[in-house]
Amino acid sequence: MLTAIVGINWGDEGKGRMVDLLSSDYDIVVRYQGGNNAGHTVVNERGKFILNLLPSGILRPETVNVMGPGMVIDIEHLCGEIGRLREQGIEISPEHLKISDRATICMPYHKLLDCLEEDRLGDAKFGSTRRGIAPVYADKYMKKAFRMGDLLHMDEIFERLPAILEWKNLTIHKGYGAPEVQFEDIKNWLIQYGTPLLPYITDTTAYLDTAAEADKKIMFEAQLGIMRDIDFGIYPYTSSSSTIAGYAPVGAGIPGRKLDCSIGILKAYSSCVGEGPFTCELFGEKGDELREAGGEYGAATGRPRRVGGFDVVASRYGARIQGATYIALTKLDVLSYLPKLPVCVAYEVNGERTENFPQGKALTDAKPIYEYMDGFMTDISGCRTKEELPEKALEYIAYIEKAVGCPIKYVSVGPEREQYITMF
Ligand code: GDP
């Protein structure tokens, strides 16, 4: 049984909370893309844990966690993350954590390049997380990156490294004018942070293939929503990896196997962090109230997120691209203060109405067409069954189901583990 759990929106859909809830049914949890540029907080009976790189099954001793070939791994960050979890009493062993020998290493010079470029851009900056993600994916496709499996033969890395550094210093030193990256520094870094990880590095493709053959339950955990996908998102305001369910078997290392199920996480309204087109954005008092009600402030930075009503155009597109089998609708409780629920039903592009999600200039120029549905004006955070939900909330859920063209199986009505409803 192969299941992907993916975001249908711009991110911050509440994936962390749903993965934590649903992963208990799975034998193996796999991260298949991205690096430490995002992450989530999981709160359970053992405490509060921040995960950036490790799959969220790491908190359950009986779950095997795999970091797939599609990932980019900053080994210094990973050592730190493992260390912090150990301090909190979480046991981490090679039986319980497996790192693909094909995953790419995010080096200190990737992080440096990310920072140098953001600083150079000044006011025009992209809002990069400065973790080196775009530079390391660029090197991967330039075929000038190192992989986790290379750490098993460090001498070979040290042979290749001078030529790579010569090339990197053309940009870092000669281009940006920063001090040259030194061979000894990178060598020591690789030894310091690579050595403790050696027991975890393995051929995860063979492991997962055998597990899939034995009918183990495998969950692929995405980071970031569809709108941040490098191909299908709001390019260039995207991440540098494929966040879509279709990429999950590839990034996980078993491209020949097909997904049985794709669970799409969809928020009952919209939010977007950082720059880029966000057609359904609500401004002024309406936006402020929704932001406040949903607590829409960046987890790490406290930066206010942009917010909007439910966006039918973007969500239908998201559900299709993700091939969602069914949906988990999150944060419905947040809308309980609204007498009228704003829904962005279509976009206007060049004076014409469209229900198809545009890209490029058409997306930048798009204006929202809003309609309003009756609100439910009741606190639903205590509801645990479909029958307990007010009629107007059920109408809203049914409307979204029809508009997006995908059944809603779970409705989340609060951040706590048990605050959800199974609809069928
Ligand atoms: P991710 O980036 O998609 O993993 O999203 P997060 O895990 O950061 O979730 C966003 C925030 O919403 C977190 O603070 C969650 O605790 C909170 N949250 C998740 N689901 C719900 C819900 O149904 N209702 C409310 N009120 N908060 C929720």
β partners of residue 313: none
Dihedral, 166, 169, 171, 172 alpha carbons, nearest 10: 160
Reported as a pLDDT band with limits 50, 70 and 90, residue 300 is low
> What amino acid is encoded at 105 in this protein?
I
pLDDT at residue 299 greater than cutoff 80: no
Nearest CA to ligand 1 atom 28: 415
- Residue 285 CA, ligand 1 centroid: distance in Å: 23
- Residue 299 CA, ligand 1 centroid: distance in Å: 10
46-50, 144-148, 408-412: segment of lowest average pLDDT: 46-50
Question: By the 8 A CB rule, do 42 and 51 touch?
Answer: yes
Question: By the 8 A CB rule, do 68 and 253 touch?
Answer: yes
Planar angle of CA 287, 13, 240, nearest 5 degrees: 105
- Dump pLDDT digits (tens) for 146-174: 999 999 999 999 999 999 999 999 999 99
Nearest CA to ligand 1 atom 26: 414
pLDDT value for 123: 83
- Dump pLDDT digits (tens) for 209-257: 999 999 999 999 998 899 999 999 999 999 999 999 999 999 999 999 9
Write a three-state SS string for 151-185. Answer: HHHHHHHHHHHHHHHHHHHHHHHHHCCCCCCCHHH
C-alpha neighbours within 13 Å on the C-beta side of residue 189: 17
Nearest CA to ligand 1 atom 12: 14
pLDDT value for 417: 85
